[in-house]
Amino acid sequence: MALDNKVALITGGAGGIGLATVRVFLRQGAKVVVADVDTERAQAAADEVAHEGAPGAVTAVGVDVSDFDAFQAAVRTTVERFGRLDVLFNNAGIAGGKPLLEHDPEKDYHPMIRVDQDSVYYGILAAGRQFRDQGGGGVIVNTSSIYGEQAAELAFTYSAAKAAVISFTRSAAYELAHQGTRVVAITPGRVATPIINQFSPELRALFASELLRNTMTEPEEIANVVAFLASEESNVINGTVVSCDDGYTVFKQRFELPTF
């Protein structure tokens, strides 16, 4: 299997894309640490996937990714449990927003920057040092977004944070190449995560219409991309942004063609 004996730390692993990636990694032979700010949800997720057929290959850890010391502790826990770290999926994040001129910086800027931007820097730093201490190698996959590459509704802070993730990815790939560490970003589009599934059927239909297949992307479809990027089969993919948006950035809107 592509990820046989690889050890992965997956943040935001208790739900959505994170949990889907936990399952895909385990099916491909990896050992996985499910990291989430909600320790109980992380443990429940780890117990659930263990019962699905991966006993001994998965464990849970609570971590506030916006705290560097906590992120370092999660890396240490991973190494203590499984002996090393091979893959970090820097996936934890929060969403939300409001019009720019209605912002309260303490509510609408700083928290999202800490979770969606600063945590990626912390993960790169903590994992990069661990890879160095192991003798090199390792893969870091960072979750950016289609919003990291374009302006969008109610997304001033979110877009800024996700754009920073892309910049972090390129710079980290450059700086860590000497030790054999790869760093890649993904930009998912409209994915059927709990955050989006809570919206009305009408809004979800609108989101689906923005994709070429006219259907929401499933979390496991993104997880399959992450697993490939974490494997040695993708060794030439480094320092780049991998779009997994089902064409969201290719077109604007479908419409009936006029008669010419």
Q: Which residues are catalytic?
A: 158
| Phi-psi domain of 29 (left: phi exceeds 0; alpha: psi -120 through 50; beta: other) | left
The tokens describing 139, both together, are: 């893969």
Residue 63: CA atoms inside 13 Å, Cβ hemisphere, count?
34
Give 186's strand partners: 143, 242
